[in-house]
Amino acid sequence: MTNRCSGARSAVSGVVLLLLGVTSIASAGDVAALAAPLLAARERGALGSVDGRAYAEGRPGGEATPYASVSVILLPRSTAFEAELEAIKRHSRDSPDAYIEAEPKVSTARLAFERTLIDTGAGRLIFSGSSDSAGAFRFQRVPEGAWMLLAWRETPHAKRPPGLKRDEAERYKTRPQVFGRTTVTFWSRPVTVRAGEEATVRLHDRNEWMTSVREDRRVPDQGQPATPRTQQGGAPR
């Protein structure tokens, strides 16, 4: 798996956070302090690895079903960042809107934490990748110390918005409609890496951390023909 600290990614995430007006809940000083021992371990070659697998557990005696294309990121463990995520999860069931807003809030918090790591010179401590067709993922040359693994799996569900009559299509032509939704399943796990050893992580349908939904809301294509109005009791022409 690759270590992410490229200038292109830094610029993109910086623009996203600037537009959102978000800063990490963990201060730069806090992040520098938690990153220091990991950077020191990296310099002296005290490295281990993280071996993981994502899957759905089968019935007793049955085979597990692998989860492919699960996004996985390994970050220095921060109590402030973990507390921020737990607060999002705790309030995600407060209302239907809170449930839908939970996923982008988690993503925004993660980007802000990554941004702070990069700004404090600890971008080399961001590891990311995805599971393969067998549900496996692996991070190598990880400095010994305390880490947090955050993973998420997206399951899209297409939905055709209801057809509008011609006058309704004109009246509501700029109103976004729901074209589908994506169920996002998260895992959050603390990981301790020891030099020369392999830490094992298993992500499955029985140890999920949080589930949320992201809606695909967009303005309908104005080039699509409107549903013709029919006369009451008559056949459509």
34-69 tens-digit pLDDT:
999 999 999 999 999 999 999 999 788 788 999 999
Mean pLDDT taken over the chain: 81
pTM: 0.74
> Would 224 be classed as within a structural domain?
no
Torsion of CA 116, 136, 39, 152, to 10 degrees: 20
> Would 195 be classed as within a structural domain?
yes
160-215 tens-digit pLDDT:
655 555 555 555 555 555 567 889 999 999 999 999 999 999 999 999 999 998 87
Checking if the pLDDT of 3 tops 60, the result is no
> Would 235 be classed as within a structural domain?
no
Q: Give the domain CATH number at 106.
A: 2.60.40.10
> Would 133 be classed as within a structural domain?
yes
Q: Which residue has the higher pLDDT, 27 or 17?
A: 27
> Would 201 be classed as within a structural domain?
yes
| Helices within 28-95 (DSSP H only) | 28-43, 79-91
Domain enclosing residue 132, as ranges = 2-218
How many whole angstroms separate alpha carbon 147 and alpha carbon 167? Answer: 57
Alpha-carbon distance values, 159 to 26, 166, 183, 215, 228 (Å): 39, 21, 13, 10, 21
pLDDT, average across residues 73-102: 95
Q: What does the H/E/C string look like for 205-233?
A: CCCCCEEEEEEEEECCCCCCCCECCCCCC
> What's the pLDDT at 72?
98
> Would 58 be classed as within a structural domain?
yes
Q: What's the total number of domains in the chain? A: 1
> Would 227 be classed as within a structural domain?
no
> Would 128 be classed as within a structural domain?
yes
